[in-house]
Chains A and B, each alone.
Chain A
C-alpha cells in the first residue's frame, strides 16, 4: 500500500513540476527580442525603489533615497551635475573673501516656493540659520556647523560668515542637505515639515502613504521654462529585487533602481527595457586595523593588497559592474588623483609576508554585513588570502549589531581586525571621502569611521591644510600628495569602485542616477 502511495505521489509531483516549468519556460528561452510592451499611457512617471522613504525634510535626512525624492521638490543654491560637478541652481554667482571666511551669494530672481512665498535672501538666511543651530538637532547640522552667522544684505544678496575657513563649503551647500525649504512652511509646520515638504522645485508634494507610495505633481509656476516635462511622479518602495524587476517588466514602473547586478544582463533589451550601469563614487574596501598585529606592519598590508585579484573580485562579487579602485576615493570625487594599482602577485605577496616575519601566514577575522553581496565579497577575500597562508574567519553581522560592535569599543579595546565596507562621500568632495575614514585619531570609532585606525601625521597635516583654504588649486595639491601617501601606506586593501545600475523603459528619457546613487528626474520626458 505504502509503495503504491509513493508512486502516486511521485507521479503527481512530476506533473505539477511540469506545469510550473511550463509557466516559466518562456522566460528562460526568451530570446524573442521584445514581447511588445503595451504603449505608455499618459504623461506620468512611476519609479520603483528599494527602500522606504524616511523624511522629506532635507535638513534632517541622511539617506540618499529620501534625498532623491526631495530633489523633485527642493532646490539648493547649488547642486550636482551629471558627474558630481557643482553647478549653481538658485544662486546666480558667489564671491569669497581672501581668508575664505566670508561667502557672498547673489540669488536668482522671480522664483517662488510652492506655497507662494518668494525665494529671496531672507529665505536663505532662515534655512542656513536653522541648519547651523545645534539646538535644532538636525541630522545634517555637521555640514553647516562652521557657519558663524548669515546676513540678508538685500533682497537677493546673502552673506554667510564662517567661524574659520572651510575649503569644501560650496560642496556642502550643493549637498542635498543644503536645499532651501519655504520659510512660510517652516513656520507653519515646525518639525512636521518632514511630512509637508514645500520647496522651489519643478514638482510639488501631493501625497505620501508610507510603505506604499509618494507622489509629486507638476508645479505650474516653476521658474525654468518648459520644465517639468512630465505631469506626475510616483515613487513606489519595492524592497524585494524580484518584484522590482517584475514591475519594470510589466510596465507597472517606468524606471527602477537599483537593478540587482545578477539580473542586469538578463533583462536588458527585452520588454523594451534598457539597463544602464555607470561608475559611482562608492568605494569598496577592506580596512585593516593598523594598530594591531600583524596589520601594524606595512609589508603585511601591502601583501594583502597584492594577494587579492581585483579583476576576479569584480567578476565574482560585483557581476562585472565595478572597476578597480586606484586611490582612496573614486575618480568622480572632486580632487581625485589616481595611483598605480597593486597588481595581483602572489609571489611578491608571500615574499613580503616572509619579510614581515609571517612566512607561514596568520589567522585573522573579517567583519562585514550579513547580506548576500557582502557575504560573497568576504568569502572571496577568504579564498584569495588562503593562497598566501592567511586564514580568514568571516564574522557576518546584521547592520545594527555591527554598528554596536564597532562603535561601542575604544580604540585600544576593539576586537576589530579587518572590516569589509563601502563608503560614498555624499558631498562629492575629497574631504568627505578621506577625513572620516582615514583622518587620524579624531576619526577613530566611536568618533567617526576610521575603521583602519590609521593615523599618519603628514596626512593629518595635509587634511587640515586642505580644509583651511578655499583655493581649489591648493586643495588639489594637498589632496594629490595625501592620496599618494595613503596609497603607499595601504591602510586598506583597495577593492573597487561600484557602478550604479538602473533599468528603464525605452520611451523614458532624461532620468539618470548621479554617481552618488541619487536620482535625477529633472529632465524626465516620455517619448513614444
Chain B
C-alpha cells in the first residue's frame, strides 16, 4: 500500500520537474549579464569574449540552447560549468554532501531543542519558563545568521580557541555552522510546538486522559504531543527544505564547500548550467521532503490513509 503510494508520488514528480526545468532555464537566461564576458574576465578583449561565447555555444539562439540542454538532461547530463569547464554533475556531487550533513546536524539539534522548549513553554504557560523560552525563540528568529556566525567565530575560535573558523575536515568544524544554521529553525519549531501543543491540551481527549488518572507526563508526551505533531512536522519539513537550499549565508561565513556557496559563486559568474542544476536539485529536494512529511503524518496519526 505504502510502496504503491510512494511510487505513484515519485512518478508524479516527473512532469512537475519538466515544467520546472523550463521555467528555470528561461529564468536563468533572463538574468541580465553576458556570461561570456564574465567568463572571459575583467580585462578580456572583444575577440576573447567572442571566442569564449563561441566556445560555450552562447551565440546560438535560445531555443537551440534549450534543446541541447534538455537533450543532455534526458541523458542525465547536466552540462559543463561555463566558469571552470568541469562537468556540472561532478561539481554538484562534490558539493552536495557537505551541505547535506550540515543540514542534517542543524536539523537534528534544532528539532530536539525546539521541541523541548516548545513543550516546556506550553506546559508552563505564562510562567518564567514560557517567557524565557519564547524570548529565546524570538531572538533566534530575528538574529541574522550572518551576524550570529561571526559572533560565534569571534567567541569560540578567536577568543577561546575551541573550534575551527572554517573548513569541514573534522566533527569540530560542524559545530559552529550547525548552531548558526539551526538557530532560526529551533526558534520556529519552538513557537510552533508551543502553540500547537496548547491547542491540543484544550482538546477533549486530554481532559478524558486526565480524568482517567493518567500522569501529566503521559498526557503531555504520550497523547497531546503526538496529536500536536502534524503541524510541527509540516513546519519542520519546510524548514528542512529551506536549509538544504538556503544555507548560503552560513556557508559563506564558514567557507563551507557546499551548495550554498556554490550558488553564490555561480550566480555572480552567470554560470547557467550550474545555476540550472542547483535550482532543479532544490526543487527536487523540496518535493521529496514533502513526500517524507506526508509519510510521517501516517506514523503519527494512523487515521490518515495513503491513497
List chain A positions with a Cβ less than 8 A from chain B. Answer: 1, 5, 8-9, 12-13, 16, 20, 23-24, 26-27, 52, 54-55, 62-63, 134, 137, 139, 141-142, 145, 191, 194-195, 209-213, 236-240, 242-243, 246-247, 249-250, 252, 398-401, 403-405, 407-408, 423, 426, 432, 436, 446-449
CB distance from B55 to the nearest CB of A (A): 4
Complex Cα spacing A139 to B158, Å: 41
- List A contacts of B161 (CB < 8 A): 250
Asked whether A62 lies within 8 Å of B42 as measured between CB atoms, the reply is: yes
Q: Besides the contacts A250-B164, A252-B167, A449-B43, what 9 more A-B pairs have beta carbons closer than 8 Å? A: A23-B154, A24-B159, A141-B48, A238-B255, A249-B158, A398-B33, A400-B35, A404-B37, A447-B45
- List B contacts of A13 (CB < 8 A): 135, 139
Asked if B254 is at the interface of the complex by the 8 Å CB criterion, the answer is yes
CB distance from B268 to the nearest CB of A (A): 6
Tell me the chain B residues, 49-88 only, with Cβ under 8 Å from chain A: 49, 51-52, 54-55, 83-86
- List B contacts of A432 (CB < 8 A): 43
Q: List 27 A-B contacts (CB under 8 A).
A: A5-B131, A8-B131, A8-B132, A8-B135, A13-B139, A20-B151, A24-B151, A24-B159, A55-B84, A62-B40, A134-B47, A139-B41, A139-B48, A139-B52, A141-B51, A142-B48, A210-B94, A211-B95, A212-B255, A213-B167, A236-B167, A238-B166, A240-B150, A242-B150, A243-B166, A252-B164, A401-B32
Closest to B164 in A: A252
Complex Cα spacing A400 to B135, Å: 42
Asked whether B159 lies within 8 Å of A26 as measured between CB atoms, the reply is: yes
- List A contacts of B158 (CB < 8 A): 27, 246, 249-250
Asked whether A212 lies within 8 Å of B257 as measured between CB atoms, the reply is: yes
Asked whether A191 lies within 8 Å of B257 as measured between CB atoms, the reply is: no
Asked whether B37 lies within 8 Å of A242 as measured between CB atoms, the reply is: no
- Given B159, B257, B270, which contacts A209 in the complex, CB threshold below 8 Å? B257
- List B contacts of A209 (CB < 8 A): 94, 257
- List B contacts of A141 (CB < 8 A): 47-48, 51
Complex Cα spacing A54 to B55, Å: 17
- Given B55, B85, B166, which contacts A247 in the complex, CB threshold below 8 Å? B166
Given A141-B51, A212-B167, A212-B168, A243 and B254 contact (CB-CB distance below 8 Å) = yes
Complex Cα spacing A483 to B257, Å: 46
Asked if B261 is at the interface of the complex by the 8 Å CB criterion, the answer is yes
Given A246-B153, A399-B38, A194 and B165 contact (CB-CB distance below 8 Å) = no
Asked whether B46 lies within 8 Å of A446 as measured between CB atoms, the reply is: yes
Complex Cα spacing A137 to B84, Å: 14
Asked whether B54 lies within 8 Å of A137 as measured between CB atoms, the reply is: yes
Asked if B157 is at the interface of the complex by the 8 Å CB criterion, the answer is yes
Asked if B2 is at the interface of the complex by the 8 Å CB criterion, the answer is no
CB distance from A402 to the nearest CB of B (A): 8
- List B contacts of A426 (CB < 8 A): 43
CB distance from B279 to the nearest CB of A (A): 17
Asked whether A194 lies within 8 Å of B54 as measured between CB atoms, the reply is: no
Complex Cα spacing A242 to B150, Å: 7
Complex Cα spacing A13 to B49, Å: 55
- List B contacts of A195 (CB < 8 A): 86
Complex Cα spacing A110 to B86, Å: 35
- List B contacts of A210 (CB < 8 A): 84, 86, 91, 94, 257
Asked whether B132 lies within 8 Å of A12 as measured between CB atoms, the reply is: yes
Complex Cα spacing A249 to B161, Å: 10
Asked if B203 is at the interface of the complex by the 8 Å CB criterion, the answer is no
Complex Cα spacing A212 to B159, Å: 24
Complex Cα spacing A432 to B225, Å: 70
Complex Cα spacing A55 to B120, Å: 54
Asked if B262 is at the interface of the complex by the 8 Å CB criterion, the answer is yes
Complex Cα spacing A52 to B41, Å: 14
Closest to A194 in B: B85
CB distance from A463 to the nearest CB of B (A): 15
Tell me the chain B residues, 178-210 only, with Cβ under 8 Å from chain A: none
- List A contacts of B258 (CB < 8 A): 211
- List B contacts of A52 (CB < 8 A): 265
Asked if B1 is at the interface of the complex by the 8 Å CB criterion, the answer is no
Asked whether A252 lies within 8 Å of B165 as measured between CB atoms, the reply is: yes
Asked whether B51 lies within 8 Å of A404 as measured between CB atoms, the reply is: no
- List A contacts of B150 (CB < 8 A): 240, 242-243
- List A contacts of B84 (CB < 8 A): 54-55, 194, 210
Closest to B265 in A: A52
Complex Cα spacing A15 to B168, Å: 33
Interface core residue of B43, B46, B94, B135 (most chain A CB under 10 Å): B43
Asked whether A400 lies within 8 Å of B255 as measured between CB atoms, the reply is: no
Closest to A405 in B: B32
CB distance from B189 to the nearest CB of A (A): 20
CB distance from A324 to the nearest CB of B (A): 24
Given A242-B150, A243-B153, A246-B158, A211 and B166 contact (CB-CB distance below 8 Å) = no
- List A contacts of B95 (CB < 8 A): 211
Closest to A22 in B: B155
- Given B45, B128, B165, which contacts A243 in the complex, CB threshold below 8 Å? B165
Interface core residue of B132, B159, B268 (most chain A CB under 10 Å): B159
Asked if B219 is at the interface of the complex by the 8 Å CB criterion, the answer is no
Given A27-B154, A212-B168, A242 and B253 contact (CB-CB distance below 8 Å) = yes
CB distance from B67 to the nearest CB of A (A): 23
Closest to B264 in A: A239
- List A contacts of B131 (CB < 8 A): 5, 8-9, 12
Asked if B104 is at the interface of the complex by the 8 Å CB criterion, the answer is no
CB distance from B150 to the nearest CB of A (A): 5
Asked whether A23 lies within 8 Å of B135 as measured between CB atoms, the reply is: no
Tell me the chain B residues, 84-129 only, with Cβ under 8 Å from chain A: 84-86, 91, 94-95, 126, 128
Complex Cα spacing A460 to B62, Å: 39
Given A12-B131, A20-B151, A142 and B55 contact (CB-CB distance below 8 Å) = no
- List A contacts of B301 (CB < 8 A): none
Given A139-B48, A142-B47, A12 and B252 contact (CB-CB distance below 8 Å) = no
Complex Cα spacing A195 to B159, Å: 38
Closest to B139 in A: A16
Complex Cα spacing A446 to B46, Å: 7
CB distance from B46 to the nearest CB of A (A): 4
Asked whether A400 lies within 8 Å of B268 as measured between CB atoms, the reply is: yes
Asked if B44 is at the interface of the complex by the 8 Å CB criterion, the answer is yes
Complex Cα spacing A276 to B270, Å: 34
Asked whether A137 lies within 8 Å of B51 as measured between CB atoms, the reply is: yes
CB distance from A157 to the nearest CB of B (A): 31
- List A contacts of B45 (CB < 8 A): 142, 436, 447-448
